[in-house]
Structure 1
């Protein structure tokens, strides 16, 4: 067994606003997200639009969830269909850390996503009493001030707080896990993708190694995991034991930094030429974010999701190049190769791109004889600066002006949806 006495035992909590967009919509419309059936839909004028959030009663009765299409929602007059007010939702989201700041200092708060925050309650007992009492007050304040129901997980570190939230707290409203709870509550978890931090691809690789539960992972040979996954193998092993040494504000999975973009298309793209238009626009955005961080990457991944009208499915493929890059056209060239190699001709409805195996840009060898490479880097920087100053559509590639382009339409959205 692990000797936990050498690891920090902090009082960390992770709070999640239940069905955040649906809760915001309910508060604005004077509804009750825990009683009324509410679906926040990206665009009510298009039957293929996706559900961004569904209230618990709608999920329970009709199994409507995030990603369900508008035409799949039953024709029930008691269902409220609401278009998002993304700017309003984001403003509400920014009020949550302000509320938490009434109980803890701002440096003890880490905003994880639009609807989740971590915060440390260490040392607050003299002010507010036991952790459970303080969390109950915070949850009450969220309902009283913003009509937002929440769930909370607590633990000795951020990982444990997140696991307590995802695996128990979202069902019960509040859950606190200690290191002693790990064998009983964490190790039986299966499939592995239910464990925060493990995706489907990692799960499949672990399954191929004979590892099916978190307990199997905790009792696997560390050297074998490190040989297969590198640094990630070490993280997976220690996370299976509930160990997390990251500090408040640091990335929860060190070393797993990547830049990516995913887009659900507003219609089926039947022609490969149309798909390539969106592909180029997305590569432009991914390359820009990579350059702005002074990074370059060697592994480029492309995911394609086919239309549900053609039975869905798709593919996800990666290719590692010899030299790290953040050049738009190089990234696009690799994505185009993957598309041409693996696309089976069916209409496309979803595209995702990412670049990983990152390194600092200054470590990339720029050939003194490759003037074109240096010119492309300067051109990319100039375009980035123009967009940063004047907006994302201040300078566009010609393909964005075609019917297949989405960059102009998406520039008018907030968070990818109507503001």
Structure 2
């Protein structure tokens, strides 16, 4: 048995906005997100455009969820369709944080995502009374002030608060778990991917070891878990016991481990040349971000998703590690071009992803005695970056961005890849 007497035991809450994006649009248009079938679609003018969010009635009545396409949405008089308003979503997220600041200091808030935050309510009893009632009061104010319904979970640490939210609170509106609930509630969780922090691949690895529930995980041999997963094995074991030593005011990890970009195309790209146009634009963006941070990377990853509509999806993700680190656009692009040529099966492409990892300070890059132009290329890139930083991303573009396949011009007016 685990001795919890020395473990953190604070009133931690995790508050999550219900159907945040559709709730925001419902609030803007004076609709009830719980009653009206709402879908947010990337582009209402393109039938193949992806559904970014759907309200509960849209999911339940019409089986339309995130990832569906516009052409799959039935023509029904009650259905309301909207394009995303990213600037409005960001404003609403900031308004949520302002309300949270009324109840706890800034250092007691950990913003987990645009629609989810952790709160440490330690010491607030003198101001607001019982922490459980304080959370419910916050939820009521969010609904009254912003017309945003929410769900919440509470626990003795961030992990337990998140689990209480995901496993119980999202069904009931609010749930509080303690260490006494670990064996009766947490250990029953199966499949393992339903637990926060365990993805599909980790789940498969654990299943191969005979671990199918959180209870199995908590009672497995710790040394075997550490041997198989390293430090992560230790974390998995203690998470199985509901133990988490994270602090709500803990700083984010210093330094970035990769620079990446993912783009969902607005139509099927049928030819290699079309795909390479967008690939070059994306390589330019990834390389520039690395250069702006004076970073360079050795591993380049390139992924493709095929069209679901015509060919049933699928795709590939491949990586290649170079002998020397780079942040040169064309060096990254040439690797992506090779990976595409080696792995593409000829199907139309609908999504592209690129990342640069195994980063190091660019000043540690070695000069190649046989490549006398390397430094000139870097200086030219610095000049191009400076122009774009001063006058905007479209102040200087490659000619391919002006072709029908280019997306840089269209995306320059977007926020987070969507309309502001």
TM-score, with length taken from structure 1 = 0.90
Rounded Cα–Cα distance in structure 1 between residues aligned with 2:118 and 2:294: 28
Give the equivalent residue in structure 2 for 1:413: 414
Superposed, 1:38-49 pairs within 5 Å as 38-49=38-49
Kindly report which structure 2 residues correspond to 1:303-382, keeping only aligned pairs within 5 A, or say none: 303-308=303-308, 309-361=310-362, 364-367=364-367, 369=369, 372-382=373-383
Instruction: Output one character per residue of 1:267-298: Cα deviation in whole Å (capped at 9) or x when no partner.
Output: 00011221122122222222333344444444
Tell me what 1:397 maps to. 398
Counting only pairs closer than 5 Å after superposition, residues 233-312 of structure 1 correspond to structure 2 as 233-250=233-250, 257-308=257-308, 309-312=310-313
SS at match of 2:318: strand
**3-state SS of the aligned residue for 1:31?**
coil
CA distance in structure 2 between the aligned counterparts of 1:68 and 1:251, rounded to whole angstroms: 37
**Change over 3 Å in CA distance of 1:64–1:379 after alignment to 2:** same
Following TM superposition, by how much is the alpha carbon of 1:27 offset from its aligned partner in structure 2, in angstroms?
0.7
TM-score, normalised to structure 2, is 0.90
Q: Which secondary structure does the structure 2 equivalent of 1:6 belong to?
A: coil
Call closer, same or farther: CA 1:40–1:220 in 2, change over 3 Å: same
For residue 51 of structure 1, report the CA deviation from its aligned partner: 1.4
On the 8 A contact 1:297/1:357 being kept in 2, the answer is yes
Q: Structure 1's 365 and 290: CA in aligned 2 closer, same or farther, altered over 3 A?
A: closer
With over 3 angstroms needed to count, the CA separation of the structure-2 counterparts of 1:225 and 1:94, relative to structure 1, is same
Tell me by how many angstroms 1:344 deviates. Answer: 0.9
Report the Cα offset of residue 251 of structure 1: 6.6
279-288 or 381-390: bigger deviation: 381-390
Contact preservation (8 Å) 1:366, 1:373:
no
Deviations 1:160-182 (A, max 9, x none): 22222222221111122223323
CA distance 1:103–1:222, change in 2 (3 Å): same
Q: How does 1:88-167 map to 2 (within 5 A)?
A: 88-167=88-167
Distance change >3 Å, CA 232–CA 366, structure 1 → 2: farther
Q: Which moved more, 1:182-191 or 1:61-70?
A: 182-191
Deviation at 1:202, TM superposition (A): 3.2
Q: CA RMSD in A?
A: 2.6
- 2:30 — aligned with what? 30
Contact in 1 for aligned 2:368/2:374 (Cα 8 Å): no
Question: C-alpha distance in 2, partners of 1:298/1:222?
Answer: 34
Aligned length: 418
Task: Report if aligned partners of 1:161, 1:177 keep a CA contact under 8 Å in 2.
Answer: yes
Could you tell me how far 1:80 is from its partner in structure 2?
Answer: 1.1
Distance change >3 Å, CA 156–CA 349, structure 1 → 2:
same
> Larger deviation: 407-416 or 349-358?
349-358
| Residue in 1 that maps onto 2:386 | 385
Q: Structure 1: where are the runs of 5+ without partners? A: none
Q: Which shifted more, 21-30 or 301-310?
A: 301-310
Matched, 1:71 2:45: no
Alpha-carbon distance in 2 for matches of 1:336, 1:232: 34
Distance 2:2 2:257 in 1: 28
CA distance in 2, matches of 1:253, 1:185: 31
Change (3 A) 1:323 1:220: farther
Alpha-carbon contact 1:305-1:315 (below 8 Å) kept:
yes
Match of 2:212 in 1: 212
Range with greater deviation from structure 2 (252-261 or 230-239)? 252-261
Structure 2 unmatched ranges of 5 or more: none
Cα offset, 1:129, TM superposition: 0.9
| SS of residue in 1 equivalent to 2:67 | coil
1:123 deviates by: 0.8
The C-alpha deviation readout for 1:187-235, integer Å capped at 9, x for no partner, is 3333333222333333334444444333344344444444444444443
Q: CA deviation at 1:365?
A: 4.5
Shift of residue 323, structure 1, vs aligned partner? 3.9
SS at match of 1:15: strand
